[in-house]
A and B are shown apart, each in its own frame.
Chain A
């Protein structure tokens, strides 16, 4: 299957062209956030305050990289389990986030919010942190420095490989893939 190349920021047009099961190569900016950063972002949105970074049309990558060696851009940087972010994700999607990268199952509420807000949940290969790090061409911390690996980083990525799990039509590769290959 030929991978489709997409560029961030994401538009509705790009999002609606992609379907669960598609292999995608992402280029452009992605922002990282894990548990604590999500909690803080959600609090700001609930209080009607401005976020430390503009996330409209952007992709959030759930990752806590290992430290970079001197002279390197980043350490190992594969996805962490997405489910822990489920509580905060619908709010971020309503705020305009267009893509999420992680690994593992999402809640019904997240899948519904992806449909309602035309956004994508994509998985990068969990445990391929060394390979994925090669596709990260620049990295800087842009918010919450004090959180170390959990700080919000701004990555510039090139041909970052992911697979669409939940598309904007309500399809779910985790259940369709399993159905297709179960049995025998």
Chain B
């Protein structure tokens, strides 16, 4: 058993909020550089140039990559041999978000009620997903999720008879309908299987995988490739200006499902695919 004071979580989370919003990951930068060389549309090339320059300025000046610094989504893998001390675990994480967004000059984008729409002014509450795992460590993954791309995401209960083709069509159509809105080039997270709520979570988790890493199962890795190729044949291109690179990557996460169902979810992320991890 290992004692961990929750105050440590507050500090770490506050730090992660800033880090994720100022520093674009090397995997995304590499994908943007590849895009700059691969894109044939001149307007599209210009977008890649601007995005790379943007990432450089953001890191240098410690200002957010994008002004939409997102909904704070936090994945926690909590080791079952950890004993949390010093206060309320959930509140410690919320306090970390509160501090990170305030101290880091990040935008507060959360409203308290979906209809009344009054800002909470500190970007809380965060959405927290907890998994209990073996061991005595805590792994935190912080994902600030932008609203523009979240708005273009979708869940669909496909029928088993629709097969792989049905899944591919659903993913490509979702991207097609989104057009320029979610700031392409995109990272497309796909959840497949599970239940209605599980599939949406799988799609979000798919966004955490480093760009360039495929699904471990060669069959699904092939499906990822097929979906990416079809998305890039839509012609939408960077920022919707027309071009050959509409998405940088498609990641699929798969889970068993009920004999009567075949749930699918598409969580669209923009090129500002921000996530950081820490192990305590």
- Tell me the A residues contacting B by CB distance below 8 Å: 1, 21, 23, 63-69, 72, 75-78, 80-81, 83, 103-105, 123, 125-131, 133-134, 148-149, 161, 163, 173-174, 176-184
CA distance A135 to B101 in the complex (A): 24
The list of the 5 closest CB pairs from A to B, nearest first, reads A177-B242, A182-B235, A126-B183, A104-B181, A181-B235
Q: What DSSP secondary structure best describes chain B's contact surface?
A: loop
A125 touches B47 (CB 8 A): yes
Q: Give B271 Cβ to nearest chain A Cβ, in Å.
A: 6
Q: Of A65, A125, A177, which contacts B41 at CB under 8 A?
A: A177
Contacts A/B (CB < 8 Å), 22 sampled = A1-B43, A64-B107, A66-B67, A68-B105, A72-B63, A76-B65, A77-B67, A103-B148, A103-B181, A105-B179, A105-B240, A125-B50, A133-B63, A149-B108, A173-B242, A174-B240, A177-B43, A177-B241, A177-B243, A178-B240, A180-B242, A183-B233
CA distance A174 to B68 in the complex (A): 23
Q: Does B113 contact A (CB under 8 A)?
A: no
Number of interface residues of B (CB under 8 A): 50
| B52-60, B75-83, B189-197, B212-220: which lies at the interface | B52-60
B69 touches A66 (CB 8 A): yes
Q: What DSSP secondary structure best describes chain A's contact surface?
A: loop
- Tell me the B residues contacting A by CB distance below 8 Å: 40-43, 46-47, 50-51, 53-55, 57-58, 61-69, 105-109, 119, 121, 146, 148, 151, 179-181, 183, 233-237, 239-244, 270-272
CA distance A130 to B54 in the complex (A): 6
Q: Of B46, B50, B151, which contacts A81 at CB under 8 A?
A: B151
CA distance A57 to B42 in the complex (A): 30
- Besides A123-B240, A130-B55, A178-B235, 14 more A-B contacts (Cβ < 8 Å) are A64-B68, A75-B63, A76-B65, A76-B66, A78-B68, A81-B151, A104-B148, A123-B239, A126-B183, A129-B65, A129-B68, A130-B64, A148-B119, A181-B40
B63 touches A104 (CB 8 A): no
Q: Give A25 Cβ to nearest chain B Cβ, in Å.
A: 12
In the assembled complex, which residues on chain B have CB atoms less than 8 Å from the CB atom of A75? 63-64, 67, 105, 107
In the assembled complex, which residues on chain A have CB atoms less than 8 Å from the CB atom of B148? 80-81, 103-104, 126
